[in-house]
Structure 1
Amino acid sequence: MNNILSQQPYDTLIATIASTYDQGRLRAVQAVNVQLLETYWQIGQHIVEFEQGGSSKADYGKSLIKQLSTDLTLRFGKGFSRSNLIRIRQFYLLYPKGATLSHFFSWSHVVELLKIDDPLERGFYEQQCTRDRWTVRELRRQKDSALFLRLAASTDKEGILRLLELTLQEAEE
């Protein structure tokens, strides 16, 4: 092995290249997520606007989603299941134009948030996700443990948030 490869400057070069590569990959994933969310929001907008142009929205909407699912799946493959199209439509309806979610969120984050009916609770989990950079798995875990409800019922809200932070730190170690 060449001596130059074992020297400190070479190790620094490797670390710098690794860091640059990791940052680039992260930015690429974030860009894809942002574009996917924008695309799904626009698809939801198209569906809602089409429904509003129809005469009998309730019956028409049910058959519309089913037909769209069939046709779009044939054209593009997976990603256009009936349930996903319902979520895409819901995404448009719950997040008005101009409102943006964190660039950190993936479609899986959004789907988990859309499952929360209460806007205040959904907003709480959005903020916690953004602030603490929760993965989808962590978001599900916190929802399943009813963090929002525990905080709402607690007189020691700061204590519960501190406990949450300690639990997250332990999970990382």
Structure 2
Amino acid sequence: MPEWYPELLASVSSEVHSGRSRAISAANREMLLSYWSIGSELAKRESAQGWGSKVVTRLAADVRSAFPEATGSSPQNLRYMKSFAQAWPGFPMLQAPLATLPWYHQIALIEKPSDPEPGSGTQLPPSKTDGLGTCWPTTSRRSSTNAPA
């Protein structure tokens, strides 16, 4: 092998790694935008038409039937999508870091109590922004996840 080969291998490996990371981030962002859009639609229709959990259960079954290879369409996940859209109404306009968090972390943020117990080590930002331009919800996230869908 030529003596420059290890440098070439390192460069190519770095580019492959970087490209994979960018692809995963882009796929995650698109998934979150889709979940937010679905949740927003569910929230709008529910508030306008007052339907209940049977619609979410039926929708989950129909989506699973239409896309049997896909995951993430359980009734619980659809309710999380609705809660996600309600907790982050400006999500499509938000930039990193919120838009780059995986779905599981988004659920953890939604379920985190708004008023942590003193001394628990858990604190949420006191205002609508955290000083970094990240918009935080001003309503209780806990109550929206427990509401019937």
TM (normalized to structure 1)? 0.61
Instruction: State the partner residue of 2:105.
Output: 109
Question: Of 61, 77, 101, which residue of structure 1 is paired with 2:52?
Answer: 61
Bigger RCO of structures 1 and 2 (CA < 8 A, at least 6 apart): 2
Using the TM superposition, give the Cα deviation of residue 151 of structure 1 relative to its aligned residue in structure 2, in angstroms. 6.3
Instruction: State the partner residue of 1:149.
Output: 120
Mind listing any 5+ residue stretches in structure 1 that lack a counterpart?
Answer: 122-145, 153-173
- Inter-partner Cα distance in structure 2 for 1:149 and 1:115: 16
- Inter-partner Cα distance in structure 2 for 1:29 and 1:21: 12
Using the TM superposition, give the Cα deviation of residue 52 of structure 1 relative to its aligned residue in structure 2, in angstroms. 2.2
Instruction: State the partner residue of 1:79.
Output: 72
1:95-106 equivalences in 2 (<5 Å): 95-97=88-90, 98-100=93-95, 102=97, 103-106=99-102
**Corresponding letter in the other structure for 2:53:** K
**Partner-residue secondary structure (3-state), 1:79:** coil
Using the TM superposition, give the Cα deviation of residue 53 of structure 1 relative to its aligned residue in structure 2, in angstroms. 2.3
Instruction: State the partner residue of 2:23.
Output: 28
The 1:26/1:150 distance shift into structure 2, 3 A limit, reads same
1:38-57 equivalences in 2 (<5 Å): 38-54=33-49, 57=50
What is the total number of aligned residue pairs between the two structures? Answer: 117
Instruction: State the partner residue of 1:88.
Output: 81
Give every structure 1 segment of 4 or more consecutive aligned residues whose post-TM-superposition deviation is greater than 4 Å.
Answer: none
Instruction: State the partner residue of 1:18.
Output: 13
**Identical amino acids, percent of aligned pairs:** 25
Larger radius of gyration: 1
